[in-house]
Each structure stands twice: as C-alpha cells, then as structure tokens.
C-alpha cells in the first residue's frame, strides 16, 4: 500500500484568508492560503509542482504498492481543510446517512459510497452556481472536463497525497506521531470525532490521517513511472481510499498508505473531502 509526497522545491506558507474570491485574487496563491465557498466549506491552496511520492525516507514498513516515483501537478488546486461534515452534507442533501449521527454536525459524514460522494460534489456545485464536473450514466460516472473543471470534485490520488504531506516527509499528515494529527484505533475510542480537534499539517489541512477513510477519484492500479497529472488506472473494479480511519491501526494512516475497495461500499469508516480547480 503506498505513496508519499516529498516536495522537491520550497513553497512559502501564508496565513489562511477565508472568504477570498479565487477569481478576484490579484496576487499569487501560496501553499496553505485559504478560501471559503458560499456554503461555508473551507478550502486550502495546494500548489502545482514536481513531487516525489511513494516510499520516501520518511515512511516505514512500506506496502508493496507504494513504489517511490515522481509526479508533476501542472495545476494548483483547492482542497477541503476538513473532511465533508455531517452538517454540510445535510444542508445540501436534506438527510444524514451517518451511523455516528450523534457525533454532531462538525463530525465527518460517513456511510457514503464513492458514487454518492461524487453526486454530492455535483450538488454542492449546483448550489453555489458552479459547473458540475461529473456526468452520470447509470452507475457509471464520467468526468468530461477533467482537471479543467472548476466545480467541486473528488481529488485525484496524487493530489490527495501531495496535500497530505504538506511539503514535508512526516510519517503521518503533519507529524511522526499518529495521535498528534489523527484518530486511529489507538486513540479514537471506537468512533469518529469532530473535525479540527487535532493538529493540522503544515498547509492547514486537518484529519488527513485517521478519522474516516477518504474516497478519491482514481480507479486502483499500480503507480506509473514519472507522470504528469495522473488520474488513475483506465479501468478496474476498485476505487482508491486514503488516510486511514478511527477503527484501523496507525499503519494505515501513513501518508503513503493506500487501500482499494468497491465504489458501492457504504461503511461507518468511509467519508471524503472535496477539491476545486480555479483559474
């Protein structure tokens, strides 16, 4: 199971500036600068660049599908500062599928399939007057605009891991100690927890290790060689989930760890966060 992100050149950090209209920004965005959509979903800027992913020196006991390799992201993007919460899901979709509904509106939504996560992305885009990134054909979901679509979408696996690493080579998303940044079987007490309760990584992203597994766009496959803007295997039965969760041990919460599952699965440890490409 594996990837890892090692930033190959430095990027400056800036304080979060929630509420900035990305279309109106007149200065270059820097890693960790923030934006909030009209529905209140807070996002963090992740810069374009060349990265090293997989079994980098900061990782240990790597899985056999975590081969170290290079990747180039040619577009910067925004990624949710937190997992999509039960409160945001309910406000958009009108109901709450979560098994841990007693956890409250600031806890991550869970028990959602990959297809439901993609549908939510389209619904949030419609609510905010943004273009829908996905077109649905039965149980098949197409992404015709690819990374050029400016609506909400799932991150690609490479985008997810670049963001999780936050410009560093920690074992987990922001620390070498799992309990500082993530809810796993060692500290979660058998349930999910409200977002933002533990430390963020260096770019201001929370819970990328632990709490709930996060769906990404990609069909599962072995990593390619050095690649530009990879979007996963061309076909296959499984989608990728990243980040570990409250019921799994910390090994799965490593930033290099990757797992596959069927896209129709709904389970109490499965959630997601959203990305956006902006001009």
Show me where the domains of the chain are located. Answer: 6-276
Question: What local confidence, expressed as pLDDT, does residue 23 receive?
Answer: 46
Bigger pLDDT: 6 or 33?
33
Residues making up the chain, counted from first to last: 279
In this structure, what token pair is assigned to residue 167? 């410009």
Q: Of the ranges 4-13, 94-103, 266-275, which one carries the lowest mean pLDDT score?
A: 4-13
Do 117 and 97 contact (CB within 8 A), yes or no?
A: no
Question: What local confidence, expressed as pLDDT, does residue 158 receive?
Answer: 96
pTM for the structure as a whole: 0.90
Does the pLDDT value for residue 17 go beyond 50? no
Does the pLDDT value for residue 24 go beyond 50? no
Top CATH class, 6-276: alpha beta
Do 214 and 272 contact (CB within 8 A), yes or no?
A: yes
CB burial of residue 10 (10 Å; 0-12, 13-18, 19+): exposed
CB burial of residue 15 (10 Å; 0-12, 13-18, 19+): exposed
Q: With the CA atoms of 97, 218, 35 and 179 taken in that order, what torsion angle do they form, in degrees rounded to the nearest 10?
A: 70
Q: 141 in helix, strand or coil? A: strand
Q: With the CA atoms of 22, 181, 40 and 91 taken in that order, what torsion angle do they form, in degrees rounded to the nearest 10?
A: 140
């Amino acid at each position: 199971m594996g990837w890892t992100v090692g930033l190959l050149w430095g990027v400056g950090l800036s304080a979060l500036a929630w509420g900035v209209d990305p279309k109106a920004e007149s200065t270059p965005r820097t890693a960790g600068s923030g934006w909030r959509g009209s529905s209140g979903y807070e996002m963090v800027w992740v810069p374009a660049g060349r990265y090293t992913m997989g079994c980098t020196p900061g990782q240990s006991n790597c899985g056999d599908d975590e081969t170290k390799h290079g990747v180039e992201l040619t577009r910067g993007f925004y990624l949710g500062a937190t997992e999509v919460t039960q409160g945001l899901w309910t406000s958009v979709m009108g109901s709450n599928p979560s098994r841990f509904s007693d956890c409250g509106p600031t806890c991550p939504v869970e028990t959602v399939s990959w297809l439901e996560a993609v549908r939510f992305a389209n619904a949030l885009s419609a609510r905010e007057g943004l273009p829908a990134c996905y077109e649905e054909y039965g149980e098949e979901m197409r992404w015709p605009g690819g990374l050029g679509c400016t609506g909400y979408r799932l991150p690609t696996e490479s985008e997810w891991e670049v963001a999780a690493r936050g410009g560093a080579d920690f074992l987990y998303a922001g620390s070498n100690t799992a309990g500082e940044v993530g809810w796993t079987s060692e500290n979660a007490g058998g349930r999910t927890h409200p977002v933002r309760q533990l430390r963020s990584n260096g770019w201001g992203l929370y819970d990328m290790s632990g709490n709930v597994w996060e769906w990404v766009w990609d069909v599962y496959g072995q990593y390619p060689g050095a690649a530009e803007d990879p979007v996963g295997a061309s076909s296959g039965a499984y989608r990728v989930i990243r980040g570990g969760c409250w019921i799994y041990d910390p090994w799965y919460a490593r930033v290099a760890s990757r797992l596959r599952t069927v896209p129709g699965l709904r389970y109490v440890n499965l959630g997601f966060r959203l990305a956006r490409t902006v001009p």
